[in-house]
Amino acid sequence: MKVKIVIAIGVVIVVVGALAGIKYLQIKKITAVYKSTTQPPETISSAVAHPEKWQDSFSAVGSISAVQGVTVTPEVAGNVSEIDFESGAMVNKGDLIVRLDTSTEEAQLKAANAQLEWAKVSAERARKLRTDSTVSQSELDQAEAAFQQAKANADAIQAAIDKKTIRAPFAGKLGIRQVNLGEYVDAGKPIVSLQALAPVYADFSLPQQELAQIKTGMVVRVTMDAYTNKEFEGKLTAINPNLDEATRMIRLQATLDNSDHLLRPGMFARIEVVLPKVQDVLVIPATAILSAPYGDSVYVIEQSTNAPVGTNGPGLVAKQQFVRVGRARGDFVSVESGLKDGDKVVSAGLFKLRNMAPVTVNNELAPKPSEKPKPSDS
């Protein structure tokens, strides 16, 4: 019985040993095949770090406003008896816009003018009689006072008529009419918008730390979505004396000529305040930057004898290099440290790379970066 047990144990040991040997040979064969297999190079796009001269500037967003702009409203209520403008028309200062019904006031003015004429004649007669001492001084004063009162009554009625005759307070462009002929309008009801379009203001804000470098007269460049291929230039004309206590931002205002009336009040604008200082910077596309919590990095393309030979000649690898980036302009960023002039970096396809990964370069598919990008779908 003991002999059978020993034999059984021996058989089990032999079987287990045979299985372990077979498995070891299989793993060794797979490892050898893996070591003999090289990773195929990843296809990427490249760009060369190159020096440029960038003029310092501050960027902000803001809006366009009119130098003069109002919504024309009546001071007194009344019925619209005359509309003397077309929607969207240009008007000069003093042009008639709307006249309210003044028939009652005109009738009152006729009566007031008649009383004024009678008071005037009475005052002149009293002056003549006073020279002969025919009337007392008090009678002359009473006649003079009656004349002044009649004149004031006539002026008050004329002022009421003038308030119902609404004229353009300045030259500009009218908006869309908001009243109709014969309509009764209350005091303060909007009639039409009037905006002076040349020149216009660009209103924006900057952080308080930029205040020391800003002064009136600086060049301001304005771009907007409505005119993707056009840049408007003006001057910084006003700096608010106080800052916003909540945001610590300072309000600024630039003036633009706008003689072609392309800019309209209320438009969203991207604004750049150009500083006089020009700096030498090393520039690469912004797409070459790989951002991470521990710092920004790029992949520098280098030749390597260990990399497989690709379509670009000798084997290339992508070496990860940490950099410090500065300001951005369009599709480019400046690199303050970590690269030198002439370094070739990966500009597209870097998210599929690892350090020292083999690569092959194809620059035909990647879009060309620009300092003033104009996306087709913007």
* pLDDT tens column, 97-113: 999 998 888 888 888 88
Question: 334 with 257, same domain?
Answer: no
Residue 349: what pLDDT?
A: 85
Residues 68-81 as b/e (b if ≥16 CB within 10 A, e otherwise) read ebeebebeeebebe
Measure the CA–CA gap between 143 and 8, rounded to whole angstroms.
Answer: 149
Residues 216 and 265 placed together within one structural domain of the fold: yes
273 and 316 assigned to the same domain = no
Whole-number pLDDT of residue 64: 95
pLDDT at position 282 over 90? yes
Average pLDDT over residues 241-249: 92
pLDDT at residue number 146: 83
Q: Considering the domain boundaries, does residue 274 fall inside one?
A: yes
Within this chain, do residues 300 and 158 fall inside the same structural domain, yes or no? no
Domain that holds residue 348: 42-53+280-361
Same domain as 183, residue 96:
yes
Is residue 96 a part of any domain in this protein? yes
Instruction: Calculate mean pLDDT across residues 319-339.
Output: 89
Number of domains into which the chain is organized = 4
Q: Which amino acid appears at position 46 of this protein? A: S
Domain end point (choices 278, 299, 331): 278
Instruction: Using the structure block, give the residue that is written with the tokens 């990860």.
Output: 320
Structure tokens at 145: 């006072």
Nearest CA-CA partner of 185 in 163, 168, 169:
163
What mean pLDDT is predicted for residues 323-345? 90
CATH number of residue 121's parent domain: 1.10.287.470
Q: Which residues contact 329 (CB under 8 A, 6 or more apart)?
A: 54, 371
Is 266 in the same domain as 284?
no
Q: Please report whether residue 375 resides in a domain.
A: no
Question: Would 36 be classed as within a structural domain?
Answer: no
**What pLDDT does residue 206 have?**
94
What CATH number has the domain bearing residue 318? 2.40.420.20
For residue 297, the surrounding DSSP H or E stretch is strand 296-303
Residues 81 and 175 in one domain: yes
Do 274 and 285 belong together in one domain? Answer: no
If asked whether residues 84 and 186 sit together in one domain, one would say yes
What integer pLDDT is reported at residue 311 of this predicted model?
Answer: 46
Integer CA distances (angstroms), 147 to 107, 136, 154, 290, in order:
20, 17, 11, 89
- Please give the mean pLDDT across all residues of the chain: 85
Over residues 317-342, the mean pLDDT reads 90
pLDDT above 90: residue 371? no
Q: Same structural domain for residues 355 and 293?
A: yes
Q: Are residues 263 and 294 in the same domain?
A: no
Cβ atoms 302, 319 nearer than 8 A: yes
In-domain check, residue 236: yes
pLDDT tens for 120-172 read: 887 777 777 777 767 677 776 787 888 888 888 888 888 889 899 999 999 99
Closest CA to 338 of 297, 295, 294, 303: 297
Residue 4 clears pLDDT 80, i.e. is over it = no
369 close to 330: Cβ distance less than 8 angstroms = yes
Give the pLDDT of residue 356.
Answer: 87
CATH code of the domain containing 233: 2.40.30.170
